[in-house]
Structure 1
Amino acid sequence: MTAYDVLVAGAAVATGLAGGVLYAFSAFVMAGLRRLTPEDGGAAMRAINRDALRPPLMVLLLAAVGLPVAGAVVGLVTSAPGAVWAVTGAVVAVVGILGVTGFGNVPLNERLEAAEDPGAEWQRFVGPWLRWNHVRTVAGAVASLSFVVAV
């Protein structure tokens, strides 16, 4: 087994796990929060967002971007079979997971955190946040599949 194989396998697992965590939010966490009053939903999401900044999620998101990029670079440098798929997976992970998180979800989270009326902000927050999260979820799945094909 080569370094490329290890990196690509790790990238498949990391992007799949990240997509799974994000899917959980789209599929049932946010649905549960939407059943709460706007005030309680906003307060709960603020608490979740604070906890999300801890190592369990941050390490996973770093791995879901770092391993794909490393695998793509090694694949290109060594002309590994499947390197095109590794590059595809890396681009999808960087743009669809990292980029969407940084430019879509995080600004919404920050706006919710800073809101003087979290309940009112929550009502404006949920739709856009979920749409961006669906993109991140699909990106995690597509990136993971790309790395599986790359192997």
Structure 2
Amino acid sequence: MSGYDVLVVAAAVATGLAGGVLYAFSAFVMAGLRRLEPAAGATAMRSINVTAVRPPLMLLLAASVLLPAGAAVVGLVGDEPGAAWAVAGAVVALVGILGITGVGNVPLNDRLEAAADPGTEWATFVPRWLAWNHVRTAAGALAATLLVVAVA
């Protein structure tokens, strides 16, 4: 296995893990929060948002973008046979994980944090946040798949 292959596999693992974490939010974390009274759900989500911006999640999200980008560059420079797939995986990770986080979920989190009445904000927050999160989840899965194809 070449260094390129190892890098692509690491990128696939990182994007798959990121997609899995995001899937967990879509599949059951948000469902659990929705069972609470709106004010309690909003309070819990605000607390999650504070604890999310720490190394465990931030390192994973960074790896899910930087490793695929590195694999794409190494693949292109080294004229690797699967480089186009690695580039596609990197683009999906960049746009679908990092981009959607920055333009979709983080602004919603900020709006919930700044709300004068978080319980009232919660009703509009949840469906919009989940929709963006579903996109991030799918992007993580798709990026991982494209990266696997790059070394297959």
Range of TM-score over shorter length: over 0.9
- Looking at structure 1, the residues matched to 118 and 2 of structure 2 have their Cα atoms a distance apart, in angstroms, of 50
Aligned residue for 1:84, secondary structure, equals: helix
2:58 matched to which residue of 1? Answer: 58
1:39-93 C-alpha deviation (Å, 9 max, x unpaired)? 0000000000000001000000000000000000000011101111100000000
User: C-alpha separation between the residues in 2 aligned to 1:3 and 1:69?
Assistant: 15
- Unpaired runs of 5+ residues, structure 2, are none
> What SS does the aligned partner of 2:81 have?
coil
Q: Which residue of 1 aligns with 2:119?
A: 119
Match of 1:43 in 2: 43
By how many angstroms is 1:8 displaced?
0.3
Tell me, in whole angstroms, the C-alpha distance in 2 between the residues paired with 1:120 and 1:7.
46
Which residue of the partner structure matches residue 80 of structure 1? 80
When normalised by structure 2's length, the TM-score is: 0.98
CA distance in 1, matches of 2:128, 2:34: 13
How far 1:3 sits from its partner (Å)? 2.2
1:2 Cα shift? Answer: 2.2
Correspondence for 1:136: 136
- Equivalenced residue count is 151
Amino acid at match of 1:123: A
SS across alignment from 1:27: helix
Superposition TM-score, scaled by structure 1 size:
0.99
SS of residue in 2 equivalent to 1:36? coil
**Structure 1 residue ranges, 4+ long, deviating more than 2 angstroms after superposition:** none
1:110 aligns with 2:110: yes
Between the aligned residues of both structures, percent identity stands at 72
Secondary structure (helix, strand or coil) at the match of 2:32 reads helix
Tell me what 2:147 maps to: 147
AA in 2 matched with 1:31: A
Query: For residues 105 and 140 of structure 1, what CA distance do their matches in structure 2 show?
Result: 15
Matched, 1:9 2:3: no
| Structure 1 residues without counterparts, runs of 5 or longer | none
